[in-house]
Amino acid sequence: MCSAEWLNDTQASIRDIQAECIAILRANGFEPDETKRDQLWEAIQAAIKSHVPAASLLGAGIVQLSSSVTSDSETIAATSKAVKIAMNNANARLAKERNLADLTNVPLARQSLQLGNSATLNVGTTAGTVAAGDDSRIIGTKKAVDDTQIGLAAQGVMWITSADDLSNLPSGARRFASNKAPATVLPAAGYFFIEVLAKRDTANGSCILATSDTRDVWIGFRYTVPDEAGFTWIQLNQNVENLGLTDTVNRALHVNSDGDIRGSLWGDWLSHWLYGQFATRDNNINARATVDWVRQNFLSGFRLGGVESAQVWRAYGYGDNPPYVITGVINGNTDDLIDNVTRRPLQMYINGWRNIDWL
pLDDT tens by residue, 286-335: 556 677 777 788 888 889 999 999 998 888 888 888 899 999 999 988 89
At residue 181, does pLDDT exceed 80?
A: yes
Q: Which helix (H) or strand (E) holds 234?
A: strand 232-235
Residue 311 lies in a domain: yes
Residue 80 lies in a domain: no
Most confident of the following: 5-14, 162-171, 311-320: 162-171
Domain check: are 226 and 166 in the same one?
A: yes
At residue 248, does pLDDT exceed 60?
A: no
State the CB neighbour count (10 A cutoff) for residue 160: 20
Q: In this structure, which amino acid lies at residue 193? A: F
DSSP 3-state percent helix, strand, coil across the chain (nearest 5) = 30, 25, 50
Most confident of the following: 58-62, 92-96, 158-162, 290-294: 158-162
Please give the pLDDT value at position 187. Answer: 95
- In this structure, are residues 130 and 136 in contact, taking their beta carbons and an 8 Å threshold? no
In terms of residue numbers, what domain contains 159? 150-235
C-alpha to C-alpha distance for 97 and 327, rounded to whole angstroms: 66
**Higher per-residue confidence, 190 vs 351:** 190
Q: Which residues pair with 196 in a beta bridge?
A: 208
Residue 154 lies in a domain: yes
Please give the pLDDT value at position 108. Answer: 79
Domain check: are 128 and 188 in the same one?
A: no
C-alpha to C-alpha distance for 272 and 264, rounded to whole angstroms: 13
At residue 272, does pLDDT exceed 70?
A: yes
Q: What is the DSSP string of 286-343?
A: SS---HHHHHHHS---EEE---EEEE-TTS------TTEEEEEEE-TT-SSS--EEEE
Please give the pLDDT value at position 214. Answer: 92
Please count the structural domains in the chain: 5
Please give the pLDDT value at position 86. Answer: 76
pLDDT tier at 265, thresholds 50, 70, 90: confident
Domain check: are 135 and 155 in the same one?
A: no
At residue 84, does pLDDT exceed 90?
A: no
- In this structure, are residues 292 and 300 in contact, taking their beta carbons and an 8 Å threshold? no
Domain check: are 41 and 9 in the same one?
A: yes
